[in-house]
Chains A and B, each alone.
Chain A
Amino acid sequence: MNPAPSVIIFTTLSGMGFGFLALLGLYGAPGWIGFFLWGTGYGLAGVGLMASTFHLGHPERALLAFTQWRTSWLSREAWASVVTLGLLAPQALSDWLGWGLGRGFGMAGAVGCVVTVLCTSMIYAQLKTVPRWNHWSVPLVYLAFAAGGGLILSGVRGLAMPALCLLGIAMAVQWFATAGRFAKAGATMESATGLGRIGRVSVFEQPHTGGNYLMREMIFTVGRRHAERLRMIAMVGAVMLPVVSLAFVPGVLGIGLAAVLHLAGAMAHRWLFFAEAEHVVGLYYGKR
Chain B
Amino acid sequence: MTCLPPRTDKKLGLVIDLDTCVGCHACVTACKGWNDQGYGAPLSDQTPYGAEASGTFLNRVHSYAVQPDDMPAQIINFPRSCLHCEDAPCVTVCPTGASYKRAEDGIVLVNEDACIGCGLCAWACPYGARELDLAAGVMKKCTLCVDRIYNDGLPEEDRVPACVRTCPTGARHFGDLGDPESDVSRLVAAREGFALMPEMGTKPVNRYLPPRKKDRPEEASLLAPLLDIKATGLAGWLDRVLGKLP
Chain A interface (Cβ within 8 Å of chain B)? 1, 55-59, 61-62, 64-68, 70-75, 78, 123, 126-130, 185-187, 189, 191-195, 197-214, 217-218, 279-281, 284-285
Taking a contact as CB atoms under 8 Å apart, the answer to whether A74 and B93 are in contact is: yes
Q: Known: A56-B118, A128-B201. Is A198-B2 also a contact (CB below 8 A)?
A: no
CB contacts (< 8 Å) of B169 on chain A: these are: none
Q: Known: A70-B3, A187-B126, A280-B197. Is A58-B117 also a contact (CB below 8 A)?
A: yes
Closest CB in chain B relative to A107 CB, distance in Å:
28
* Shortest Cβ distance from B117 into A: residue: A57
Q: Known: A57-B136, A57-B138, A210-B53. Is A199-B66 also a contact (CB below 8 A)?
A: yes
* Shortest Cβ distance from B50 into A: residue: A210
CB contacts (< 8 Å) of B174 on chain A: these are: none
Tell me the residues in window 99-149 of chain B with beta carbons closer than 8 Å to chain A beta carbons: 114-120, 122-128, 131-132, 134, 136-139
CB contacts (< 8 Å) of A71 on chain B: these are: 2-3, 91-94
Alpha-carbon gap, A62 to B117, bound state (A): 10
CB contacts (< 8 Å) of B53 on chain A: these are: 209-210
CB contacts (< 8 Å) of A191 on chain B: these are: 196-199
Majority SS at the chain B contact face:
loop
CB contacts (< 8 Å) of B98 on chain A: these are: 64
Q: A71-B2, A71-B3 are in contact. List 5 more A-B contacts (CB 8 A).
A: A56-B137, A65-B118, A126-B124, A281-B127, A284-B62
Alpha-carbon gap, A73 to B124, bound state (A): 12
Alpha-carbon gap, A187 to B125, bound state (A): 13
CB contacts (< 8 Å) of A217 on chain B: these are: 119, 122-123, 132
Instruction: From B1, B63, B137, give the contact of A204 (CB < 8 A).
Output: B63
Alpha-carbon gap, A65 to B97, bound state (A): 8
Instruction: From A59, A78, A199, give the contact of B95 (CB < 8 A).
Output: A78
Q: Known: A193-B64, A281-B128, A284-B128. Is A59-B116 also a contact (CB below 8 A)?
A: yes
